Each structure stands twice: as structure tokens, then as C-alpha cells.
Structure 1
């Protein structure tokens, strides 16, 4: 069984001369997974009592964490 670090590539971007990003999307994905480990169970629990707040909590890493990390690193 192979176990490795996920590598994400984003091509067609204008944030650098090469028009490809590897580090930003990869770190963004790892931050997404780290936040999801905490936020998805919390969001599921909150959803039982407050539906919209639970939905926002479970979507936080996709709407906020990944884009911020991805945009912060231009390569």
C-alpha cells in the first residue's frame, strides 16, 4: 500500500510567471483536511440545534480556509 503526501496542481493561474501553482494548493488542501477533522463533527452537532449555523460551520474550511491558504502562496 502506497502512502504519500498529496500534491495538488493548479494551472492557468495569473499569480506567477509560470502560470502553475503547486505549493499553495497542496498546503491549502492539507489545511482543509486539518480544519475538517475538527469542524465537521462540531458542525454536525451544532446542526442538530441550529441548522444554518451548522451548515456554515461544516462549509467553513471550503469557503474560507482553503482559498486563503491557496492565495497566500503564489507558487
Structure 2
């Protein structure tokens, strides 16, 4: 499994995309796959070996983001 991914969030105004880099945490998510998080710890996602993404809620009122794509990064 890659140690880092770039996550792409669709639906930004004007048809753009928002991206964030996440790194492996050593934790496992509810689906049994590794959990990755951004430098702030706010964005956390479980990513499967097929690059399927499940964004995890890190605070009250946070909604899971649909349609997030993961791209493995070197290193």
C-alpha cells in the first residue's frame, strides 16, 4: 500500500476540484483498510487496495464526502 495519496473532492464551486494530500496513520478503518489523514488531522479517509475511498467523520456534524478519488503518490 502507498504511504501517501492525493484525495480529490468534487463539487467545488465553478466546477473545480479541491485536493489534499494524506499520509498513512497506522490505524485501520471500519472496512479493515488503512486510515490516512492530512497534516491537520481533520481529513481522514480509509483507502482500500483498489483506491476506494471512505471519508471518515472527525467531528460533530461532519458529513461524509461522496465521489472522492484517491491517487497514490510516490514516496
When normalised by structure 2's length, the TM-score is 0.28
When normalised by structure 1's length, the TM-score is 0.28
Higher helix share: 1
Higher strand share: 2
